[in-house]
Amino acid sequence: MNRSPTSPGTPSGPTETPQRRLAAELRFWIDHSMKRPTEANLAKLADMIRDNPNGWASEHVRHNLGARRLGWVEEALKEVAP
């Protein structure tokens, strides 16, 4: 299958997660962390976002997370930021 470099699901770097999978994993971990905001859960989210900067910034991933999750994760990670 030949995909363009900007299509959803195409990794941008050698270690980046495909956007479709990244969106699903972030939804899972954000929902889990909203119920149990432990330091380990927040660190996992921060690592996923740091390891996938292009995916995190993509319209596809942000649309799939929705405003409620985006707002929550951005506020939660402000408190964890170094």
Per-residue pLDDT tens over the stretch 13-38: 556 789 999 999 999 999 999 999 89
- Residue 35, domain extent: 25-80
Residue 14 lies in a domain: no
Residues with Cβ < 8 Å from 4, sequence gap 6 or more?
A: 10
Whole-number percent of the chain with pLDDT over 90: 71
- Could you give the C-alpha distances from 26 to 4, 14, 47, 52, in angstroms and in order? 23, 19, 11, 11
Task: Provide the domain count of the chain.
Answer: 1
Q: What is the predicted pLDDT for the residue at 67? A: 96
Residue 4 lies in a domain: no
